[in-house]
Amino acid sequence: MDGDDVEHDGGDVFSTAVARLAPQGRALYDELTATGTVTTARRLLVMEAARMVDRLEHLDRVLDGDGETWAQISLPAREGEPLVLQVGNAMVEARQTATGLRHLLGQLTTAAAGQDADEEAGGVDANEFTRRRQAREAAARGSAAPGAVDPAGR
């Protein structure tokens, strides 16, 4: 096993974190790590996306006024002290988390599509695509970049 791969079965560094996920986060994690080789970097992104799903579920319960998740009140230690209940910006946090989740899922989807394309193209990696793009740009400018690869692969 190389340094970028992590075991799928028990004993991997993610098993404790995965066990803490709520059902929706776990479902997303399982779906996005079910097939192929999953690098540590991808697994970290998937884990963060799963946590974001769980946070959004919790924030949704807060916004719906679920008594158990809405607030916890501690009474003042002394008679006559004011009781203050502060409610945070759950709606703002929910919007920001949802936006972050959309971006993260977009990255994961794009990365997965790129990996599939690389496998279909015979394993051409992103660096090879970058070198080819740079060579095309240099050719368009009329000069060859040092170490550039001919876009035709010559």
What's the pLDDT score for residue 125?
Answer: 54
- Amino acid sitting at position 150: D
Do 131 and 144 meet the contact criterion of CB atoms below 8 Å apart? no
pLDDT computed for residue 1 by the predictor? 41
- 49 in Cβ contact with 32 (< 8 Å): yes
The DSSP string of 44-91 is HHHHHHHHHHHHHHHHHHHHTT-HHHH------SSTTPPP------HH
CA-closest candidate to residue 14, choices 2, 58, 39: 39
Per-residue pLDDT of the chain (154 residues; tens, 9 = 90+): 444 444 444 457 789 999 999 999 999 999 999 987 888 888 999 999 999 999 989 888 888 877 566 556 667 777 877 777 666 677 788 889 999 999 999 888 887 777 665 555 555 455 666 777 788 878 877 755 455 555 555 5
Q: What is the pLDDT of residue 26?
A: 96
The alpha carbon torsion through 6, 50, 104, 62 (nearest 10 deg) reads -160
**What residue ranges do the domains of the chain occupy?**
1-68+89-123, 124-154
Amino acid 124: pLDDT? 47
Q: What is the pLDDT of residue 62?
A: 80
Query: How far, CA to CA in Å, does 79 sit from each of 41, 72, 84, 85, 105?
Result: 54, 19, 14, 17, 51
The residue among 86, 120, 99 whose CA lies nearest residue 56 is 99
- What local confidence, expressed as pLDDT, does residue 53 receive? 93
Q: pTM here?
A: 0.55
